[in-house]
Amino acid sequence: MRLPAALLLLVLPTIAAAAAPGGDFDALMQLLATRHQGHVPYTEVHEMAMLQEPLRSSGELFYQAPDHLEKRTLTPRAESLVLDHGVLTARRGTRTHVLELAAYPQIVPFVESIRATLAGDRAALEHHFQVGFSGDLAHWTLELTPRDPAVAGTVQRITLEGTRDAIQTVTIRQSDGDRSVVSIGPEIPP
């Protein structure tokens, strides 16, 4: 009956960052670490075996270094998920769920995948995932496989693709074959 465990899947989409030099995984991490905030539009497509058509949603993502993340869904219905100082707050309609991340170690890797990528924190990333890096800075791919078997039972793999310091897609492949793809647009000017 731990409802908040459900929150893990939506923390995933990430945010583009501005230009910086580099050449490999470490360079990518350093590049990402130089960005302190980001604000981007996203669209998300959920493919589920139970449904004849995929579910589509869209909204905005917002990041403020080092540990503030927001996912604001605008269509088809307004809802929001905020991670701030280790506290997750989910709002949907009149309902609000608040949980402390520390109390749910099973969610920590999911939040960390995003936070650590955005913050360029390689050590944290590798603590929670087996990390595969391929391509080059012009077009790179991070393959994250959860180390925690309990998490791996739900999520098979998280794939982040990007160009230089801009994350373009986040693909979550679930263990039952369902899949969600978040496509991230260009930075929204302040």
Instruction: Give the binding site for other proteins (CB under 8 A).
Output: 1-3, 5-10, 44, 46, 48-53, 55, 57, 73, 76-77, 79, 81, 90, 92, 94-98, 100, 102-105, 154, 178, 180
Of residues 145 and 163, the one with the C-beta less far from other proteins: 145
DSSP for 129-167, please give it: EEEEEEEETTEEEEEEEESSHHHHTTEEEEEEEEETTEE
Task: Compute the least distance from the CB of residue 140 to other proteins, in Å.
Answer: 27
Contact 84, 68 (CB under 8 A): yes
Token output for 21: 């030099």
Tell the residue number behind the tokens 């949907």, with chain if given: 92
Of residues 5 and 19, the one with the C-beta less far from other proteins: 5
Task: Compute the least distance from the CB of residue 96 to other proteins, in Å.
Answer: 7
Of residues 104 and 133, the one with the C-beta less far from other proteins: 104
> Helices 25-33 & 108-119, crossing angle to 10 degrees?
90
Task: Compute the least distance from the CB of residue 26 to other proteins, in Å.
Answer: 32
Contact 31, 17 (CB under 8 A): yes
Task: Compute the least distance from the CB of residue 97 to other proteins, in Å.
Answer: 7
Of residues 20 and 97, the one with the C-beta less far from other proteins: 97
